[in-house]
Structure 1
Amino acid sequence: MPRVLVPLAQGCEELEAVTIVDLLRRAEIDVVTASLHDGPVTASRGTVLLADTALDAVLDEDFEMIVLPGGLPGAKHLEADQRLLAMLRRQRSAGRYAAAICAAPQVLARAGLLDEKTATSYPGSVNAAEYPRVNFVDRPVVVDGLIVTSRGPGTAMDFALRLIELLRGRERRDQVERALVRAT
């Protein structure tokens, strides 16, 4: 079973965090949520989230994918966390996936994971001039090699479904999507 880390920071976007965790777990993916600090995480709209563990407890563990929810100031807290940046760089060196949505692609850019990649993010959340080696585009979800990025809360479900497809295949993604009874 694939194993995925979803780091949770104070001020994260709850719609993105919960959608990612929920859909991946529906696909029978082992999702570990880890807070940057001990205790509950208060998301950007006041929802209180309880992580499975603290980031310190999983620093040396391997994950097939690390997925960063966005939101502000959550993405700024992720970007400032040197432990997480080191984990993301190790993820790249090991040839494993890293994914981010909304303002969180800034974290991947800061870690150097977006160099020579095509990516997307929430409009205006990443200063493209700071990252001239990144091709930023206006698309809901972008997959470039082992990097997956998405625009924001409105694309969270498409983002999570694409992650399922990458980790478990198209058939599993379609099963999860059918059970959601999404409008066509």
Structure 2
Amino acid sequence: MNAVVFLADGFEEIEALTPVDYLRRAGVNVTVCATGTSSRTVNGAHGIQVLADMTLDAWIDSCEELPDAVVVPGGMPGAKNISECAAALALIEKTAEAGKLVCAICASPAVVLSKTSVLEGKKWTCYPDMESIAGEKACALHECKAFVHDANLITGRGPGAAEEFAMEIVKTLCGAEVYGKIKAGSVQR
């Protein structure tokens, strides 16, 4: 299993690194990609600097297959910056079209995914009061839950839902047994 996690300046650190951590514990090959930049250094919304594994452009140049999952953290202006990266939007779209997992949390379901066809006909959630950004049609399927899983789309509400969001990705990619081991081993609620 392979996953790509996007980072852009202003990303929400909890929402980005929680999925990276739990997915790597589950044995998923996670590549953290800096988007919209030629630098691997990305600055989080709360002043935490992260060195991405590579840039998204380098990943695209080196990969022959789509990832099993794409993870889009929120945070502002991180979500806006990802939404302005054509390569990120194209990879999200291709991943969804292939029936692979698209995961977004906080502002990103509204700000990023609304620029793709991913939300069409699917239930989803996002950070409170941001759902209107996605438009009236998508708004009708919005739910106020910690996370929502509909077909190949997993969305999360915000930083406080990052653990549940990440673990739903683990369960979907790796199965209930791996999910249970990680949940017990990390002393989750």
TM above 0.5, yes or no, is yes
Mean Cα deviation higher: 107-116 or 157-166: 107-116
- Structure 1 residue matching 2:126: 3-state secondary structure: coil
Instruction: Note if 1:122 corresponds to 2:127.
Output: yes
Question: TM-score, normalised on structure 2?
Answer: 0.92
Q: Which runs of 4+ in 1 moved over 4 A?
A: none
Q: Deviations over 1:104-138 (max 9, x none)?
A: 10211211100111000000223157141450000
Aligned runs of 1:88-167 on 2, under 5 Å?
A: 88-106=92-110, 107-127=112-132, 130-134=135-139, 135-167=141-173
Instruction: Note if 1:21 corresponds to 2:20.
Output: yes
Question: TM-score, normalised on structure 1?
Answer: 0.95
Instruction: Note if 1:78 corresponds to 2:82.
Output: yes
- Structure 2 residue matching 1:161: 3-state secondary structure: helix
- Structure 2 residue matching 1:49: 3-state secondary structure: strand
Count of paired positions: 182
Aligned runs of 1:24-63 on 2, under 5 Å?
A: 24-36=23-35, 37=37, 38-59=39-60, 61=63, 62-63=66-67
The separation in 1 between residues aligned to 2:12 and 2:138, in whole angstroms, is: 27
Amino acid paired to 2:98:
A
Amino acid paired to 2:129:
G
Amino acid paired to 1:14:
E
**Other-structure match for 2:188:** 182
Q: Deviations over 1:67-121 (max 9, x none)?
A: 0011111000111111111111111221111010001102112111001110000
The alignment yields a C-alpha RMSD, in angstroms, of: 1.3
CA deviation after TM superposition for structure 1 residue 182, in Å: 2.1
Structure 2: which 5+ residue stretches go unaligned? none
Q: Is the 8 A contact 1:109 1:131 kept in 2?
A: no
The separation in 1 between residues aligned to 2:129 and 2:147, in whole angstroms, is: 16
Q: Is the 8 A contact 2:123 2:142 kept in 1?
A: yes
Q: Is the 8 A contact 2:114 2:134 kept in 1?
A: no
- Structure 2 residue matching 1:132: 3-state secondary structure: helix
Q: Is the 8 A contact 1:128 1:136 kept in 2?
A: no
Mean Cα deviation higher: 121-130 or 15-24: 121-130
Q: Is the 8 A contact 1:69 1:101 kept in 2?
A: yes
The separation in 1 between residues aligned to 2:166 and 2:183, in whole angstroms, is: 10
- Structure 2 residue matching 1:71: 3-state secondary structure: coil
Aligned runs of 1:1-20 on 2, under 5 Å?
A: 2-20=1-19
Q: Deviations over 1:18-67 (max 9, x none)?
A: 11101110111110000011131110000000100000012253100000
Q: Is the 8 A contact 1:43 1:49 kept in 2?
A: yes
Give the % identical residues.
35
